[in-house]
Amino acid sequence: MSDQNDAPDTGRMCPELLQSPPRVINVGLAVFAADLDAQDVDVIHVDWRPPAGGDEGLARLLSMLAD
């Protein structure tokens, strides 16, 4: 169990995320994407809306069928 909690050995190199400015997909508050855009960061804002028009039962079914 304990060695499962050690971080995976993805190589001795520095992880990709920390090596350069992040390239971001923003899902949610538009202001976050706007702020990143203003700093010339690569960002795509997703025009998100609740899945299945807010129907909880269908949303739950979708999450079970997701791949």
Partner 1 sequence: MSVTVNTVRAGVFLDSVVLMQISRELTAIQGVEDAALMMATPANWDILSDAGLLEEGIMAGPGDLLVAVRAQDRAIADSTLQRAAELMERPAQRNDTPQELRPLTLRSACRQLPDANLALISVPGDFAGAEARKALRAGLNVMIFSDNVPLAEEISLKREARDLGLVVMGPDCGTAIIDGVPLAFANVVPRGDIAIVGASGTGIQEVSCLIARAGEGISHAIGVGSRDLTEAVDAISTLTVLDWLERDGATHHIVLISKPPAPSVVDRIAEFIRRSSKSYTVCLVGSDNLVLPDNAKLTTTLKDAAAAAVKNSKGFEALPAVQRAPAAGRYVRGLYSGGTLAAEAQVVFLSHRQPVLSNAPVPGAGLFTSERTNHIMIDLGDDQFTRGRPHPMIDPAVRDEPIHAALSDPDVGAVLLDVVIGFGAHADPAGHLAGLLDRHGRSDSVVIASVTGTDEDPQVRARQVSVLERAGVMVAPSNADAAELALACLNIG
Partner 2 sequence: MDSTSLAGAIRSANSKALEILLQGDPVLIDVLPARDLIPELKEHTILHAGPPIEWDRMCGPMRGAVAGVAVFEGWAGDLDEAGVQAAKGCFEFHPNHHFSAVGPMTGLTTCSQPLLVVENRATGNRAYCTVNEGLGKVMRFGGNDESVRDRLAWIRDSLGPALGTALRCCGGIPLRPLVTRGLTMGDEMHQRNVACSSLLLRELAPALASAVADHSDLSEMLAFMGSNDQFFLNIAMAMGKSIMDPVRNIEQSTVVTAMTRNGTDFGIRISGLGDEWFTAPVEMPAGLYFPGFSAADANPDMGDSTIIETIGLGGFAMAAAPAVAGFVGAGSVAEAAGITARMREITLGEHPEWTIVSENYQGVPTGIDIRLVVETGIVPTINTGIAHREPGIGQVGAGVVKAPMACFEKALRALGERLGLS
Q: Is 61 in the site for partner 1 (CB under 8 A)?
A: no
3 binds, among partner 1, partner 2, none (CB under 5 to 8 A by kind): none
Q: Is 46 in the site for partner 2 (CB under 8 A)?
A: no
Q: Is 57 in the site for partner 1 (CB under 8 A)?
A: no
> What's the farthest any 2 CA atoms get from each other in the chain?
46
Instruction: Pick the binder of partner 1 from 3, 20, 57, 61 (CB under 8 A).
Output: 20
Distance (Å, whole) CA 66 – CA 61:
9
Q: SS3 for 26?
A: strand
Q: SS3 for 66?
A: coil
